[in-house]
């Protein structure tokens, strides 16, 4: 899984063949297929693992979040942490969105990416519930999700967390606005 994740993120899923994955992992092709019925199953497992990886980063940030505002900003901090990870070929943006871009509409992996993004927006809305009324929380969560996604895209293009740090500041200003 580690070999597949590194190659999928660095080169894309379509450009990464099973032979490259097994060679990087140092396993036989049969070993891979003993664990995954197809490359599509491996792709879905990769997407689910990236989702869990981000949730883990968010949970680490949430430990120190004492206010609703802190819980909202923890989402941005988790993305900053993710972008700051040591990637073999540098940060290339959201691995989940990169994966979704390669998948056809309705593919299980694409559905899993959409669910991740919906969960992030729901986490933002839940954090905002302590700051604003429910209708405003849903509206502001959507706006923050858009700011976050745009920042992730730009950060990936630039190979830097700078846009995410700026997005966090925008989020703080929006949350603090009357």
pLDDT band for position 84 (cuts 50, 70, 90): confident
- The distance of Cα 165 from the centroid of its chain, to the nearest Å, equals 16
pLDDT at 86 over 80: no
pLDDT at 178 over 90: no
Q: What is the distance between the alpha carbons of residues 7 and 43, in angstroms, rounded to a whole number? A: 11
Q: Which pLDDT value is given to residue 130?
A: 78
Average pLDDT, the chain: 94
Q: What is the distance between the alpha carbons of residues 18 and 97, in angstroms, rounded to a whole number? A: 21
pLDDT digits (tens, 9 = 90+) for 127-151: 999 788 888 999 999 999 999 999 9
Tokens of 113: 């990416």
Do the Cβ atoms of 44 and 111 come closer than 8 Å? no
Q: Which pLDDT value is given to residue 90?
A: 82
Q: Which pLDDT value is given to residue 79?
A: 95
Is residue 95 in some structural domain? Answer: yes
pLDDT digits (tens, 9 = 90+) for 59-77: 999 999 999 999 999 999 9
Report percent pLDDT > 70 for the chain: 99
List helix spans (H) across the chain.
Answer: 2-11, 18-25, 29-35, 39-62, 68-83, 95-102, 108-128, 134-158, 162-176
CB burial string 160-173: b at 16+ within 10 A, e below: ebebbeebbebbee
Domain that holds residue 78: 39-176
Is residue 10 in some structural domain? Answer: no
Q: Which pLDDT value is given to residue 98?
A: 94
Do the Cβ atoms of 25 and 3 come closer than 8 Å? yes
Is residue 147 in some structural domain? Answer: yes
| Average pLDDT over every residue of 3-27 | 94
CB burial string 122-134: b at 16+ within 10 A, e below: ebbbebbbebbee
pLDDT at 85 over 90: no
Q: At what angle do helices 108-128 and 95-102 cross, to 10 degrees?
A: 140
Q: What is the distance between the alpha carbons of residues 53 and 75, in angstroms, rounded to a whole number? A: 13
The domain that contains 119 carries what CATH number?
1.10.357.10
Number of domains in the chain: 1
pLDDT at 88 over 80: no
pLDDT digits (tens, 9 = 90+) for 105-124: 999 999 999 999 999 999 99
């Amino acid at each position: 899984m580690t070999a597949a994740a590194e190659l999928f993120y660095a080169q894309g899923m379509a450009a990464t063949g099973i032979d490259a994955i097994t060679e990087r992992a140092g396993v036989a092709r049969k070993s891979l297929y003993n664990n995954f019925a197809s490359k599509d199953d491996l792709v879905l497992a990769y997407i689910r693992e990236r989702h869990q990886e981000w949730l883990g980063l968010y949970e680490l940030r949430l430990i120190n979040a004492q206010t609703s505002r802190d819980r909202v900003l923890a989402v941005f901090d988790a993305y900053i942490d993710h972008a700051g990870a040591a990637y073999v070929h540098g940060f290339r943006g959201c691995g989940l969105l990169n994966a979704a871009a390669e998948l056809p509409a309705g593919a299980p992996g694409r559905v899993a990416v959409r669910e991740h993004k919906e969960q992030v927006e729901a986490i933002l809305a839940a954090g905002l519930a302590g700051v604003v009324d429910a209708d405003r929380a849903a509206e502001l969560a959507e706006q923050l999700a858009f700011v976050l996604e745009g920042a992730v895209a730009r950060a990936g293009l630039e190979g830097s967390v700078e846009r995410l740090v700026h997005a966090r500041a925008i989020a703080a200003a929006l949350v603090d606005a009357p």
